[in-house]
């Protein structure tokens, strides 16, 4: 299954992109790096520049329906840039409208808030987003990973890089149910 990994051109937390990507490949999926601009994405290890990754598709040029799921890696800057790009927000909304699974870690729920898809949902995130999620009509929980299936799709969220193993396992389990 093709899985979109949506990032801004700069600011994605490398481990939150690379680890779920590796897990998706190992499970037989086809991860695709989607960004708001062609070229490369500059990843970060917290505040330090890390590796770059080649963009495979550009939002606005590839339809969400060409994917079976969406991963939103975190990093503080990444979701902040994404929520300011209407094409990225519309791309995220399309996954919810189609009932496709979405996974978001750390600060990534900022993009979900901008897409207005957290109302009535329960999710976790980096703790500083707690108030933002509540103000957007969601319920915030402090859990390693949370799977919410109260909306049109399953939403998998986690708090931080230390939660990646549980995050990867939960999202892969949700994807496996999609393909049955």
Q: Which residues are catalytic?
A: 106
Question: Nearest 5°: CA angle at 89, between 158 and 111?
Answer: 30
Backbone region of residue 46 per phi and psi (left: phi > 0; alpha: psi in -120 to 50; beta: other values): left
Among 113, 98, 117, 95, smallest CA distance to 5 is for: 95
d(CA 153, CA 25): 22
């Amino acid at each position: 299954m093709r899985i979109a990994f949506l990032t801004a051109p700069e600011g994605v937390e490398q481990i939150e992109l690379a680890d779920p990507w590796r897990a998706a490949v190992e499970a037989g999926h086809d991860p695709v790096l989607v960004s708001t601009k062609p070229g490369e994405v500059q990843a970060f290890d917290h505040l330090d520049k890390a590796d770059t990754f080649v963009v495979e598709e550009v939002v606005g040029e590839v339809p969400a329906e060409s994917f079976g799921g969406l991963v939103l890696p975190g990093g503080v800057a990444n979701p902040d840039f994404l929520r300011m790009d209407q094409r990225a927000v519309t791309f995220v909304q399309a996954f919810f409208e189609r009932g496709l699974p979405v996974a978001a870690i750390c600060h990534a729920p900022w993009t979900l808030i901008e897409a207005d898809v957290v109302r009535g949902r329960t999710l976790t995130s980096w703790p500083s987003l707690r108030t933002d999620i509540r103000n957007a009509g969601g319920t915030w929980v402090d859990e390693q990973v949370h799977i919410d299936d109260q909306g049109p799709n399953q939403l998998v969220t986690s708090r931080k890089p230390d939660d990646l193993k549980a995050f990867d396992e939960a999202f892969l389990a949700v994807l496996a149910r999609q393909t049955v």
